[in-house]
Structure 1
Amino acid sequence: MAAKRTRSDSATAAVAAMQAAAAGPIKAPKFVHLRTGDKPFWDSIVRARTRESWTDNDLVLAGNLARCLADVERLQKEIDTEGDILTNGRGTPVINPRHNLLETLSRRSVTLSRTLQVHAHATQGDSRDQGKKATKQRQAEKVIEEQDDDDLIPRAMH
């Protein structure tokens, strides 16, 4: 028999969420090498899931994904500086070879994101439900705007 999961709307889940938030992002294990530029990506990746859901193997893959995403950003900056077309040693225009590496790393990042379940569908749900969430958000914003126009609410005068 499987262990019963805590309901996400329970007081226990709320306490666990607050404790996890207070602890900050998960630190990389000693056996996962992260470069300085990988850290922001690491923090973003490990915040995408609950703290208790990460296994050691997941953290290794998260390290790979963080390095991969940092390399994608670095390569894109280099391509932006060098341009899409370069001239080879014979004077022939050629596509910047960094594009091939960028494509490979981009595919790797998508695969790792799916494996770790940190991609948009896993963290945000179906895209058809996003419209519903956005509509609710717009309705809430409208209510707040209407409250700001309410002359019955006293405001501080300076």
Structure 2
Amino acid sequence: MESTPPSPPTRIANLLRQVRHTGDYHLLTEAIPYTRFLGIGVENTTGEVLCRMRYAPMLIGNSSIPALHGGTLGALLESAAIFELLLRTQTDRVPKIISITVDFLRSGRPQDTLAKATITRLGRRVANLQVQAWQEDRSKPIASANALFLLS
């Protein structure tokens, strides 16, 4: 009898267990085509989960300034929130976004951008998070977001 490959939720659950055990966040970001395409990775060098979006010319939205495209910043903020939930809770499924509000505070320059999500409320079914993105100076964010997620 042929064995069938595991269903997507089972693959995600197995991958999350492996990442939580080994701390190799690269396994998680490489498994998601969207984060791989945008160059978004997860780091935990200071005891906190940070997301880094590596600069690439394709991320520029306004070439006359030049400034990062707002959609790429929104994707970084959303990804940071999802990774925070996946790595800080015991969920074995990717949370589904209910709503996100992004505030663009200043232009993002053509360089790496960091983001940090903070869980502000974690219920049994819903989680609220605040996220900030910055470049050189963490005290000067370039974008922030409030996000609401449905947990499985």
TM over 0.5: no
Q: TM-score range by the shorter chain?
A: under 0.3
- TM-score, normalised on structure 1? 0.26
Q: Which is richer in strand?
A: 2
Q: Which is richer in helix?
A: 1
Question: Relative CO higher for 1 or 2, CA cutoff 8 Å, sep ≥ 6?
Answer: 2
- TM-score, normalised on structure 2? 0.27
Q: Which has the larger radius of gyration?
A: 1
